């Protein structure tokens, strides 16, 4: 036997053995993959696009773009992508391709998180150093949501010695410890605390009034490899917010508290020919507030909780999913008393329900260039009033690989959702709450269709991503009440809700430089998001509150070695609002007459942020440096709304833009990694 033949047979045997054991995560193979991953990690782009404008975000790259007052945040990063709409400083919403905030699922390891933001959306509940990566998709698949999903991937590597990632800033401080707990397990601990009142207490204002605010959150993840075929995670998250807002002229004050909690156990088992993934979890989000003025006092509690099971089986091109969950929601339930000793207690009942989803999906390569994927799901929902809803969720996708000519993908599906989020604002305050389908509306559902094109250029160093989408939305809900109506009248949630349908369409474009010292992207989004409601006071079709017709984002970083610089520039059309045409005052109450619904728009939103990182230590496993970030370099006072300013002494009033007190604000932080 010749030497060449023996070498060929040996190589074939190695490849054959590797193929047979490909689904078994051998510990030696895993260690080798992790070692090579460290080398390749530096070549990863900030956003690895998989299809359309969906992909994976490297959490290690988030720090390289301008941080908001010294703190990196994954969701703020996501909002710079063309598929996710930019919001204002007083809007905590995350609007994906014309959908509502609640249509997008925020999750940790696939487990939903219901209160995803701190501090009016400037921070998310995700501490980036705790996670492996962030996956985002403009389509939620068979999950019970109408839009997309943003999921933080749990860490899956074993640490052999103690390591840490710490950042100490003027706005917040955060740190992550990675602790070896044995040869086959590691513990990840993270803690974050805001310091905004210490350094920016006099600058944080809304409508020229001071705001007191703070938050704390913590993560714990225990990762185990008990056998070569098993992976196990125990994950816990807890967060707490507290805020106070005072209007000195009328003695009005709002004290609010938010809490968020999640606990889950994940078990992945790799059989010889298929993979089984299972998760048991509990997720809860609650809000409470205390309102006090010269003539009334009130409380507004609400919460949502979900306890459930998720199961996935991957086998030879098939994916089978099963989920079952118990849901509980307490809609906002105001308890108000005034100086006449009269009370207004809404007695909104607590809601309970069961939700199940069963689905099967099959993917197959046809020929050399065409991949077809089809699936069918059954969604069922039963509430405590014995109301039963069910529906099918067919989904199809075709992807044509043109090799050097790029990839074209077409996708269509029906989506269903059994929960609603509503309230008077989208600021992440206790005035927003969740309700379940049944009492106020049948479940939401939608037709979703998209066409995408992706092309790598110049040897993969540049990339062009695009997606055109259309959505037809049914059983939509919007809140039309006001805070004063809640306090001054007989509150009824059913009378405060608008119900109807809608549609959204648009295009997302992204041109990205993936490699080299200079990296980043330019993104453009055009989108319409329209609603029609069954209420004679709101006739016709009008834009949703969050619609932005145009948005342009420019993100760039440059690596000089010992230091790097970055910048983000945002220009976006103003969102719609309903203008007050006239008003009158009776006693302590001001009553407004409003014009056509969302017929006017705020001025364009423009903001430039800059940052720089200087590394006094930069090695493979150890880093130390300083971050200087400047928020709103142009000092532009972007309007977040319009309001009436009444001067009783001069018998005059002004209808003028309302701004948030975060203008030109520098911040300095120090970070360590070892």
Q: What is the DSSP letter of 102?
A: G
Q: Are 644 and 143 in contact (CB under 8 A)?
A: no
- Chain segment 644-665, per-residue pLDDT in tens: 666 656 656 666 777 766 677 7
- Between the CA of residue 595 and those of 124, 142, 537, 642, what are the distances in Å? 35, 41, 11, 13
In the block, tokens 């010992």 appear at 562
- Between the CA of residue 424 and those of 57, 248, 295, 617, what are the distances in Å? 32, 22, 21, 48
- Chain segment 41-76, per-residue pLDDT in tens: 445 688 888 888 898 888 777 777 766 655 678 888
- Chain segment 180-214, per-residue pLDDT in tens: 999 999 999 999 888 766 556 565 665 566 677 77
Name the residue with higher pLDDT: 122 or 487. Answer: 122
Percent of the chain scored above 90 by pLDDT?
A: 46
Quote the pLDDT of residue 600.
86
Q: 14 falls in which pLDDT band (50, 70, 90)?
A: very low
Which residue in 606, 612, 604, 651 sits closest to 630, CA to CA? 612
Quote the pLDDT of residue 7.
45
- b/e 322-361 (16+ beta carbons within 10 angstroms → b): ebebebbbbbbbbebebeeeeebebebeebebebbbbbbb
- Chain segment 119-171, per-residue pLDDT in tens: 666 778 898 899 999 998 999 999 999 999 999 999 999 999 999 999 887 77
Q: Strand, coil or helix: what is 198?
A: helix
Q: How many whole angstroms separate alpha carbon 256 and alpha carbon 322?
A: 37
Q: How many whole angstroms separate alpha carbon 103 and alpha carbon 96?
A: 8
- Between the CA of residue 268 and those of 154, 189, 233, 323, 649, what are the distances in Å? 13, 22, 9, 16, 69
Q: Strand, coil or helix: what is 61?
A: helix
> What is the rounded radius of gyration, in angstroms, for the C-alpha atoms of the chain?
26
Q: How many whole angstroms separate alpha carbon 366 and alpha carbon 588?
A: 71
Q: How many whole angstroms separate alpha carbon 82 and alpha carbon 80?
A: 7
Q: How many whole angstroms separate alpha carbon 526 and alpha carbon 548?
A: 8
Q: Are 29 and 44 in contact (CB under 8 A)?
A: no
Quote the pLDDT of residue 532.
94
- Looking at residues 288-295, what average pLDDT do you find? 72
Is the entire prediction scored with pTM above 0.85?
A: yes
Quote the pLDDT of residue 652.
61
Pairing of strands 605-618, 563-572: antiparallel
Quote the pLDDT of residue 251.
61
532 token code pair: 């029609």
pLDDT at 31 over 50: no
What residues contact residue 75 under an 8 Å CB cut-off, 6+ apart?
94, 106, 116, 117, 121, 124, 126, 150
pLDDT at 295 over 60: yes
**558, exposed or middle or buried, with CB in 10 Å at 0-12, 13-18, 19+?**
middle
Q: Are 86 and 553 in contact (CB under 8 A)?
A: yes
Q: How many whole angstroms separate alpha carbon 9 and alpha carbon 20?
A: 16
- Chain segment 612-625, per-residue pLDDT in tens: 989 999 887 888 99
Q: How many whole angstroms separate alpha carbon 626 and alpha carbon 484?
A: 47
pLDDT at 19 over 60: no
Helical (H) or strand (E) element with 80 = none
Quote the pLDDT of residue 545.
86
Q: 588 falls in which pLDDT band (50, 70, 90)?
A: low
Give me the chain's average pLDDT, please.
83
Domain borders along the chain are 30-673
Q: 346 falls in which pLDDT band (50, 70, 90)?
A: low
Q: Are 420 and 438 in contact (CB under 8 A)?
A: no
Question: Phi first, then psi: what are they for 229, rounded to 5°?
Answer: -100, 0
In the block, tokens 């150093």 appear at 129
Name the residue with higher pLDDT: 629 or 61. Answer: 629
Quote the pLDDT of residue 35.
36
Q: What is the DSSP letter of 295?
A: S
- Chain segment 524-582, per-residue pLDDT in tens: 999 999 999 888 878 889 999 889 999 999 999 898 888 889 899 999 998 888 877 77
Q: How many whole angstroms separate alpha carbon 357 and alpha carbon 376?
A: 11
Question: Phi first, then psi: what are they for 233, rounded to 5°?
Answer: -125, 135
145 token code pair: 């949501």
Pairing of strands 444-457, 407-417: antiparallel
- Chain segment 435-474, per-residue pLDDT in tens: 999 989 999 999 999 999 999 999 889 999 999 999 999 9
Helical (H) or strand (E) element with 87 = none
Quote the pLDDT of residue 4.
47
Quote the pLDDT of residue 413.
97
**What is the CATH number that goes with domain 30-673?**
2.40.170.20
What residues contact residue 52 under an 8 Å CB cut-off, 6+ apart?
83, 138, 409, 450, 452, 454, 465, 466, 467, 508
The sign one gets for the Cα dihedral 514, 520, 524, 528 is positive
- Between the CA of residue 585 and those of 252, 400, 484, 599, what are the distances in Å? 17, 64, 13, 25
Q: How many whole angstroms separate alpha carbon 363 and alpha carbon 560?
A: 44
């Amino acid at each position: 036997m010749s030497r060449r033949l023996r070498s060929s047979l040996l190589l074939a045997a190695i490849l054959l053995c590797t193929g047979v054991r490909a689904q078994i995560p051998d510990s030696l193979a895993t260690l080798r993959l992790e070692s090579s991953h460290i080398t390749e990690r530096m070549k990863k782009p900030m956003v690895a696009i998989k299809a359309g404008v969906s992909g994976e975000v490297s959490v290690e790259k988030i720090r390289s773009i301008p941080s908001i007052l010294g703190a990196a945040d994954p969701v703020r990063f996501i909002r710079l992508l063309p598929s996710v709409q930019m919001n204002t400083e007083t809007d905590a919403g995350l609007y994906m391709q014309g959908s509502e905030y609640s249509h997008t699922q925020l999750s940790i390891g696939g487990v939903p998180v219901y209160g995803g933001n701190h501090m009016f959306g400037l921070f998310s509940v995700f501490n980036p150093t705790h996670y492996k990566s962030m996956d985002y998709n403009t389509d939620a698949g068979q999950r019970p949501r109408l839009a997309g999903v943003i999921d933080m991937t749990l860490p899956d590597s074993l640490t052999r010695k103690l390591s840490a990632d710490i950042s100490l800033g003027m706005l917040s401080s955060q740190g992550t410890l990675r602790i070896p707990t044995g040869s086959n397990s590691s513990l990840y601990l993270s803690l974050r605390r805001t310091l905004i009142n210490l350094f920016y207490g006099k600058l944080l204002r809304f409508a020229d009034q001071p705001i007191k605010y703070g938050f704390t959150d913590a993560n714990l993840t225990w990762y185990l490899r008990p056998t070569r075929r098993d992976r196990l995670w125990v994950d816990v998250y807890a967060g707490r917010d507290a805020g106070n807002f005072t209007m000195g002229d009328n003695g009005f004050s709002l004290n609010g508290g938010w809490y968020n909690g999640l606990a889950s156990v994940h078990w992945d088992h790799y059989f010889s020919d298929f993979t089984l993934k299972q998760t048991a979890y509990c997720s809860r989000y609650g809000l409470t507030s205390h309102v006090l003025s010269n003539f009334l006092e009130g409380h507004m509690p609400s919460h949502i909780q979900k306890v459930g099971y998720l199961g996935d089986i991957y086998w030879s091109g098939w994916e089978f999913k099963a989920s079952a969950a118990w849901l509980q929601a307490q809609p906002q339930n105001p308890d108000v008393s005034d100086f006449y000793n009269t009370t207004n207690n809404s007695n909104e009942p607590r809601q309970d329900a069961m939700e199940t989803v069963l689905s099967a999906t099959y993917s197959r390569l046809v020929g050399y260039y065409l991949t077809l994927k089809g699936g069918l799901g059954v969604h069922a929902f039963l509430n405590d009033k014995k109301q039963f809803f069910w529906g099918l969720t067919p989904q199809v996708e075709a992807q044509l690989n043109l090799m050097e000519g790029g990839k074209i993908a077409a996708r269509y599906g029906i989506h269903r959702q059994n929960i609603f989020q509503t309230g008077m604002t989208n600021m992440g305050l206790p005035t927003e709450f969740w309700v379940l389908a049944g009492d106020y509306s049948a479940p939401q559902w939608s037709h979703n269709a998209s066409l995408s094109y992706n092309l790598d250029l110049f040897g993969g160093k540049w990339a062009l991503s695009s997606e055109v989408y259309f959505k037809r939305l049914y059983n939509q809900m919007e809140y039309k009440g006001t805070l004063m109506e809640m306090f001054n009248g007989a509150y009824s949630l059913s009378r405060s809700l608008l119900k109807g349908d809608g549609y959204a369409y648009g295009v997302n474009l992204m041109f990205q430089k993936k490699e080299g010292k200079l990296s980043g992207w330019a993104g453009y989004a055009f989108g319409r998001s329209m609603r029609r409601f069954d209420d004679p006071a709101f006739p016709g079709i009008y834009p949703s509150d969050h619609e932005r017709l145009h948005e342009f984002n420019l993100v760039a970083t440059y690596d000089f070695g010992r230091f790097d610089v970055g910048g983000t520039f945002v220009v976006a059309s103003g969102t719609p609002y309903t203008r007050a045409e006239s008003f009158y005052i009776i006693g302590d109450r001001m009553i407004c007459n409003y014009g056509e619904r969302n017929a006017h728009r705020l001025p364009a939103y423009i903001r430039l942020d800059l940052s720089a990182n200087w590394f006094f230590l930069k090695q493979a496993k150890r880093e130390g440096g300083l971050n200087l970030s400047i928020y709103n370099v142009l000092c532009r006072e972007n309007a977040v709304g319009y309001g009436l300013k009444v001067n009783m002494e001069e018998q005059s009033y002004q209808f003028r833009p309302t701004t948030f007190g975060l203008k030109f604000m520098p911040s300095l932080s120090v970070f360590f990694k070892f």
